[in-house]
């Protein structure tokens, strides 16, 4: 087995969300994949496998410390980069097709960036009163700052709070613990003249119920893009900033192509081919 490390959505060296990609792990069972994911300690680890769908270039299983995800964004871009760097040749020129828990996901090759097509939301619509109150409490925001509170589930069960501006997003003081699983996202507009149009933050629980902040989150940004475009916001595309309070400096490039949203960013191979033992 080989281990690759990829820096995803980085704006400069080592400023994105790290991802571990395991190649050659076909013999690993679910328990071994989860154990390795927890031992590595990243928000997600992926396992590249042979596809079972003839339309796919590869199949990926995505694990986080509390279990397996049907889809996640930065693991999608990082896995595609590792697959390409290992010699993968897409069936369709310029487009990698990934098979994962939600089906097939297209990843476009855009010069030094990759971009995945945002999958449709599994659940959308307003949070009910209790759900909204819980999300506001967990995120540590002021209720008066909330423009909208909606479901934004595309695999992870994001509950999205659209806040009045980026300052309110950055001022959020999340609670230290929450039920497992918890996925709460925040978005707010930045003033004109910034390099980015929106500020994003993402909170999730680890297996012990401790609330963590994700440096840069592809699945949440994909859900936010669909929400913003539906609301008539975001124009033909925009850049979202995420991770500044975690020590990261992520840049997520969102483009609109008809009714589709594409979520792009750099995915830089940091190390390739570190050997793992075969348990």
The CATH number of whichever domain residue 28 belongs to comes to: 3.10.310.10
Q: Is the peptide bond before 58 cis (omega within 30 degrees of 0)?
A: no
Residue 124 domain-assigned (yes or no):
no
pTM passes above 0.85: yes
Q: Are 167 and 62 found together in one domain?
A: no
Q: Are residues 108 and 133 in the same domain?
A: no
Number of domains in the chain: 2
The tokens of 49 are what?
Answer: 């496998």
Q: What is the pLDDT of residues 137-193, one digit of tens each?
A: 999 999 999 999 999 999 999 999 999 999 999 999 999 999 999 999 999 999 999
Residues 77 and 13 in one domain: yes
Res. 111: pLDDT tops 90: no
CA distance readout (Å), 85 to 79, 111, 116, 188: 10, 14, 17, 35
Least trusted range by pLDDT, from 60-64, 83-87, 88-92, 255-259: 255-259
Do 103 and 143 share a domain, yes or no? no
Would residue 123 count as lying in a domain? no
- Tokens linked to 26: 């076909």
């Amino acid at each position: 087995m080989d281990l690759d490390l990829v820096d995803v959505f980085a704006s400069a060296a080592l400023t994105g969300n790290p991802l571990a990609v395991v190649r050659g792990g076909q013999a690993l069972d679910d328990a071994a994949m989860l154990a390795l994911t927890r031992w590595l300690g990243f928000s997600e680890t992926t396992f590249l496998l042979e596809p079972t769908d003839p339309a796919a270039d590869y199949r990926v299983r995505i694990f986080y410390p509390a279990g397996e995800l049907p889809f996640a964004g930065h693991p999608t871009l990082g896995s595609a980069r590792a697959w390409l760097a290992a010699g993968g040749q897409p069936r369709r020129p310029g487009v990698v097709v990934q098979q994962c828990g939600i089906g097939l996901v297209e990843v476009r090759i855009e010069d030094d960036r990759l971009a995945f097509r945002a999958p449709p939301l599994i659940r959308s619509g307003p949070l009910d009163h209790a759900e909204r109150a819980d999300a506001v409490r967990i995120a540590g925001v002021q209720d008066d700052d909330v423009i909208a509170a909606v479901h934004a589930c595309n695999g992870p069960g994001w509950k999205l709070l659209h806040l009045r501006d980026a300052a309110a997003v950055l001022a959020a003081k999340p609670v230290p613990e929450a039920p497992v699983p918890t996925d709460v996202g925040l978005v707010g507009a930045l003033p004109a003249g910034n390099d980015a149009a929106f500020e994003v933050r993402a909170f999730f629980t680890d297996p012990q119920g401790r609330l963590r902040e994700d440096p840069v989150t592809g699945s949440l940004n994909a859900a936010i893009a669909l929400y913003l475009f539906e609301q008539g916001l975001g124009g033909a595309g925009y850049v979202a900033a995420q991770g500044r309070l975690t020590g990261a400096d992520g840049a997520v490039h969102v483009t609109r192509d008809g009714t589709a949203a594409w979520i792009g960013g750099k995915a830089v191979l940091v190390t390739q081919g570190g050997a793992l033992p075969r348990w």
